[in-house]
Amino acid sequence: MTIPLKTGAEIEAMRTACRLASEVLDVLTPFVKPGVTTLELDRIAHDHMTRVQGGVPATLGYQPPGYPPFPASICTSVNHQVCHGIPNERPLKNGDIVNIDVTVIKDGWHGDNSRMFVVGEGSIAARRLCQVTYEAMWKGIVKVRPGARLGDIGHAIQSFAEAAGYSVVREFCGHGVGRKFHEEPQVLHYGRPGTLEELKPGMIFTIEPMINMGRREIRELGDGWTIVTRDRSLSAQWEHTVLVTETGYEVLTLSAGSPPPPAFVQASAQPPAPVTV
């Protein structure tokens, strides 16, 4: 397996693409409320990516082998939909949860991220699932440093989620990202510490656990894309794109509206804030 190591200039390009992807989610946030359709959210996102950012929606027309072309500029996965949900005309209702997954191509580089949204007043159980999934993603992120192993990330996520009473989807994983939408390595969200590939400075990949309230088994709908929980239990996912630095990690998909890291994340692990003069 050859895992690409990005150069300084390539990392800068990825910082830009990833920030833009996060900013799309910032733009969408005030519109995610009861009554809006995911098709309308797709239109807002498409217009912002293309007209404001001068970017390209990576998912629109995306067609890996064996799949039909994806018909939208974002993925919107509602309630028991695990991932790859296709925007449609059904209005979101109070209590729904929805994952919005955005990938922007800017100057040939891909920025990839997703967030969970609770529509209106969600149930305590739904909110807890979203929060635990967010913390599980960060449990994986803080394991990123040179010399660590990919298995360290997966183990941290799996042990945290399962201790909370949830299950981890096995069939989908994080991935390297750069000029290609999906590169090596594959980043599993389960596993054993000290196993799999060693992390090296310059690697860039996503960490994007999918956590189910019920069992981990999934199935694909007839549209060829949408994945749902087999037992129809709720599912949640969060995603960041992460750079392995010389001393630790840098989360590239951060913007003004990004939710803050959980309290257990040490501030020292984050890149320094820019100095204003």
Residue 33 belongs to some domain of the structure: yes
**Number of domains comprising the chain:** 1
> Smallest Cα–Cα separation from 19: which of 116, 104, 134?
104
Q: How far apart are CA 75 and CA 84, in angstroms?
A: 5
pLDDT of residue 1: 73
| 251-262 pLDDT, tens digit each | 999 999 999 999
Residue 266 belongs to some domain of the structure: no
Residue 71 belongs to some domain of the structure: yes
CA dihedral 230, 35, 102, 159 (to 10 degrees): -40
Q: How far apart are CA 111 and CA 100, in angstroms?
A: 14
Residue 226 belongs to some domain of the structure: yes
Task: Tell me, letter by letter, the H, E, C secondary structure of 71-124.
Answer: CCCCEEEECCEEECCCCCCCECCCCCEEEEEEEEEECCEEEEEEEEEECCCCCH
Which residues are 118's β-sheet partners? 97
pLDDT of residue 266: 73
Residue 1 belongs to some domain of the structure: no
pLDDT of residue 93: 98
pLDDT of residue 235: 98
Residue 271 belongs to some domain of the structure: no
The whole domain housing 92 covers 8-258
Residue whose entry in the numeric block shows the structure tokens 């399962």 = 162
The CATH number covering residue 91 comes to 3.90.230.10
Q: What is the pLDDT along the chain (277 residues), one digit of tens a residue?
A: 789 999 999 999 999 999 999 999 999 999 999 999 999 999 999 999 999 999 999 999 999 999 999 999 999 999 999 999 999 999 999 999 999 999 999 999 999 999 999 999 999 999 999 999 999 999 999 999 999 999 999 999 999 999 999 999 999 999 999 999 999 999 999 999 999 999 999 999 999 999 999 999 999 999 999 999 999 999 999 999 999 999 999 999 999 999 999 999 974 344 444 444 3
Peptide bond into 274 cis (omega under 30): no
Residue 275 belongs to some domain of the structure: no
